[in-house]
Structures are given as structure tokens and as C-alpha cells.
Amino acid sequence: MNALDSLKSVGFDLANLRDGTVVSRSPIDGAVLGYLVANDRAGYDQTVDQAVAAFQQWRRVPAPRRGELVRLFGEAVRRHKPALAELITLEVGKITSEAAGEVQEVIDICDFAVGLSRQLYGLTIASERPGHHMQERWHPLGPVGIITAFNFPMAVWSWNAALALICGNSVLWKPSEKTPMTARALAALLDDVIRTFPEAPAQLSSVLQGGREVGEWLATDARLPLVSATGSTRMGRDVAVKVAGRFGRSLLELGGNNAMIVAPTAHEDLAVRAITFAAAGTAGQRCTTARRLYIHSSRYETIVARLKRAYATLPVGDPRAAGTLVGPLIDVAAFDGMQAALEGARRAGGHVHGGERVDIAGLAGHYVRPALVELPAPCEISDRETFAPILYIFRYDRIEDAINGNNAVMQGLSSSLITRDLMESELFLSAEGSDCGIANINIGPSGAEIGGAFGGEKETGGGRESGSDAWKAYMRRQTQTVNYSGTLPLAQGVKFDVE
Ligand code: UN1
């Protein structure tokens, strides 16, 4: 039996998904997995109206009950983990272990959200007026638009949706055009839970399939107080401006150009493993992928030699096969973008190792050997994010210079330092250190756990999703003052006596 068959119980069957203009293609071999119908404007408007009505009903349900819905959804995801992981592998080309890891991330955020549903704490505040008290309360916000990218086609939606749902909101999901099926399957699981949950309105969650225009409808739609968008900086800029134009809120998780620093005291084996996973894992298609590497002069030759050896033998191929560590790029555009970046790096004086196409017998996907590029200095090419496995390598002598290099790009998502020197690690984590949303010591920049707030500064967009107090973005804050004194003393000592 095919692992995907388990999803037939919730009505998801690729064999029945043959109509529509949204096509799902596997990067493994280019095969068409199925077709889905795109939303037209009228269908979109109706869906949002229903999401508004669903919100008005859902916000009245006590938060711990809302948590119960998310708990049941997390249980369903647990039961169908192999099927969901297989679908990610088919539609995105992730190796089996990473696809399962992504589904685990969905389960983890559900667990987190369930606990949080009993902890949406507000403050009590001391009032300066006698016989008054003040408090801060968090209320549900409204329908939340969620735009996701192809590379984490389930996890990123779940970070947003699990929190939005326990916060009392309805959710509308516009998945990447490259991953419509994973969205369809995960949403089918949630719908199945919603159907049997007495207090949950049917339209609590919906998926809006289609292209760029759907993202624009969401961004300009005043019925949506919050739009959370993950993807390229170009897309995010567009969404941010449109949402701000109507005084909506946006939560952005955009490009990364993450650096790693290998210090004189670095543990060598740990460094090589951390770099290789962070730079070549997921075929370099994480927003947290390590793209720039600063190695201390005293370690440069040894570490580069070991990386070259590790890279030369990385098993590239069918992501379904046991032992494969690097699957295909998502599509031909990603392959062309990678080749163009390598060409640009050569022109800037870079020394390129690897990066060539790898032919995998019988598979028409775009497979590449991850590339190492030794560069004399940062250049326009290394300053930008190319969504492919390319690691630009620089040499440094002073830790301050490596930290400056880490910070000298427009993106600010993640960063890491491999060191056993306490002074260096504390400097890196201090106010004068890394300027990114995520700063790690002795691990690479990728593979974050859901418990921390996830996101970054500068062109990464400033949003925080997932753990910590990221839930506050999905609620509205109300400051409340209650007077139980029977008189009316005014704040700031103001006198305003009326006869
Ligand atoms: C992304 O690439 O958009 O930290 C998300 C990580 C994963 C999430 C990446 N937990 O690498």
C-alpha cells in the first residue's frame, strides 16, 4: 500500500484531482501529480465573507476549547505523518528524513498552541487614580491571510494557523503555486477535524489556490486585519506596502542570507557537519540555509579541504532513496538562477568547486552538486540570496571583522558562530554582535525549533512567527480602565468640575 492512501479517509486522493489550471509537478522527475481549480475573484470574495462570519462565531468559543480543536488536528497529523511526509517529498523533493522533520514541526507547533490556549495572559496595571484598576486584554483579531512559500509547504502555514486558531481567528491560506497538493492534503485533515467539532464553523479554515493575483487580493482586502507572508523580499515588499496602505498589519518572513563564522577554537568535526547540513541540506532551499562562511585564517585551509571532500561525496539523487542527502532543486528556474550566480561569482574572482548538474538515471529533475565558492571579498552576488546550494567562503583575522561581515548584508534572518571561546560567543550574542533575528553558537543557522520566535530583521521583514510570544501578532490588545470609586478623579491631576 502506498503511504498516501491513508489520506483517502479524509477525502484526499491524487487520482481524483485531475481538473483545474493549478498544476502540481514533482521536482523529482517532472511528473504531474495532479491539478486543482484556481479561485476566481467571485469565489475569493465569497470565501472571505464566510471567513469573516466564521471568525465572529469562533471568537466566542473559550480559548482552551479552541486549543482542543488544534490538539485534535495535531493528533490527526501524527496519524498521517508518513503520508504527509511522502507528499512533501513528491511535491518539493525533500529527502524522507527532512520531509518527516517538517511534518514533525507541524505536530510540535500544535502541541505548543494547545498549551498556549490556556496562557493568553494579559497584564494588570496599577492605576494612578483611587478606586480604579487597569488591565490589558488580548482579543481575537479577525480572519488571517497566510501566504506561504514552496520550501516549507506545511510547517510555515501551521506556525501561523495553529496560533491564529487558538487566538480565536479564522484562517485563509494561499500556498505557493508550486505546492498546491501539500496544502490541499493538510487542509483536508483540518477540515475533517472541524467537521466533527461542535463549536467550529465550517469555514474556519480555507485554501485559496491560484497565482500572484490571490496574494494581491489578500494584501488589499480590508476584511483581513493581518496578512502573514513568507517568501522572497520582492514579494514581501509588495505585500507590506499594500497592507500598510490600508493600515492592516503584516507579518513578514522574507529572504535570508545567513552567515556562519568558524573561529580559531572551533571543533573541526562539528564545524564541518554543521556547515554541510546548513549549506547543502534541503538542497540549499531553506530561508535559513547557510550561504556565507567566514573562516579564521588559522583554520582556513584545513576546513576548506574537509568541506571539499565532504561535498564531493554528498549523495545527490532521488530523495525517496535511502542514503540520499541532497534531492532536486524545485524547478528549472532555480537551476538557471544557481548557474547564473556561479557565473557571476567566477567573474568576481571566485573559485568555484562543484555546482554542476548531476544526471540521475531515469529522473528528469534538476539535480546539482552543491557548490563551494572561495571569494576574495564579498560582492554583489554574495550579498544577495540565491535559493540554491551555494556557499560563499571568506577568510578573516579578527572576530570583529567577521561579525561586521555577518551584518553587512540587507537580510537579517539567521547567523551562527562555531567557537569554544566564551569571549567570542558572548560578543557575537551581545548588542554589538549579530544583527539577525536568530543567532546560534555551535550549531548552523538552520533547523530552528518551534519554541523560539522565528524571523529576522532588515529585509527579512521584522516579523516573528511560531514560539515565544509570537501569538500576540494574531490578537488585538485592549487597555481597559475600570472605576469602582463612585467619584471621578481625573488622571494627571486634571480638574474639570461641573455643577
Ligand atoms: C523556511 O525556510 O522558510 O529553521 C523555514 C529552519 C526550519 C524552518 C525554515 N525550522 O530551518
- What are 237's three cell numbers? 515588499
In whole angstroms, what separates CA 274 from the centre of its chain? Answer: 20
Q: Is the CB of 22 under 6 A from ligand 1?
A: no
| Residue among 287, 385, 424, 465 flagged as catalytic | 287
**7-to-11, 108, 381, 472 alpha-carbon distances in Å:** 7, 20, 43, 33
Residue 292 pLDDT > 70 = yes
Give dist(CA 170, CA 168) in Å, integer. 7
Give dist(CA 107, CA 70) in Å, integer. 10
> Which stretch of DSSP H or E encloses residue 414?
strand 414-418
Q: Mean pLDDT, the chain, as a whole number?
A: 97
Surface-to-core class of residue 469, CB atoms within 10 Å of its CB (0-12 exposed, 13-18 middle, 19+ buried): exposed
Q: Is the CB of 460 under 6 A from ligand 1?
A: no
Report which ligand 1 atom has the smallest distance to the Cα of 450.
Answer: 10
- CB 72: neighbour CB atoms within 10 A? 19
- 46 CA to middle of ligand 1, Å? 33
Report which ligand 1 atom has the smallest distance to the Cα of 287.
Answer: 2
What average pLDDT score do residues 458-481 get?
A: 98
pLDDT value at residue 369: 98
- CB 309: neighbour CB atoms within 10 A? 10
Q: Is the CB of 282 under 6 A from ligand 1?
A: no
Q: Is the CB of 287 under 6 A from ligand 1?
A: yes
pLDDT value at residue 1: 60
Confidence category of residue 211, pLDDT binned at 50, 70, 90:
very high
| Residue among 91, 253, 374, 459 flagged as catalytic | 253
Residue 376 pLDDT > 70 = yes
Q: What is the pLDDT of residues 111-168, one digit of tens each?
A: 999 999 999 999 999 999 999 999 999 999 999 999 999 999 999 999 999 999 999 9
Residues in Cβ contact with 241 at an 8 Å cutoff, skipping those fewer than 6 apart? none
Q: Is the CB of 159 under 6 A from ligand 1?
A: no
In 3D space, the residue among 282, 222, 226 whose CA is nearest the CA of residue 258 turns out to be: 282
**85-to-10, 52, 89, 102, 127 alpha-carbon distances in Å:** 16, 32, 6, 8, 53
Residue 469 pLDDT > 70 = yes
Q: Which of 147, 288, 414 to mutate to test the pocket of ligand 1 (most atoms within 8 A of CB)?
A: 288
Strands (E), 15-55: 22-25, 32-36
Q: Write phi, then psi, for 366 (nearest 5 degrees).
A: -100, 95
Q: What is the pLDDT of residues 7-39, one digit of tens each?
A: 999 999 999 999 999 999 999 999 999 999 999
- 440 CA to middle of ligand 1, Å? 14
In 3D space, the residue among 369, 321, 379 whose CA is nearest the CA of residue 346 turns out to be: 379
What average pLDDT score do residues 368-375 get?
A: 98
Q: Which residues of 416-433 are buried (b: 16+ CB within 10 A; e: fewer)?
A: bbbbeeeebbebbeeeeb
Q: Is 436 a catalytic residue?
A: no
- Contact, 419 vs 442, CB < 8 A? yes
Q: Is the CB of 179 under 6 A from ligand 1?
A: no
pLDDT value at residue 2: 85
What average pLDDT score do residues 82-88 get?
A: 98
What average pLDDT score do residues 67-78 get?
A: 98
Q: What is the pTM of this model?
A: 0.97
Q: Is 136 a catalytic residue?
A: no
Report which ligand 1 atom has the smallest distance to the Cα of 289.
Answer: 11
Q: What is the pLDDT of residues 418-463, one digit of tens each?
A: 999 999 999 999 999 999 999 999 999 999 999 999 999 999 999 9
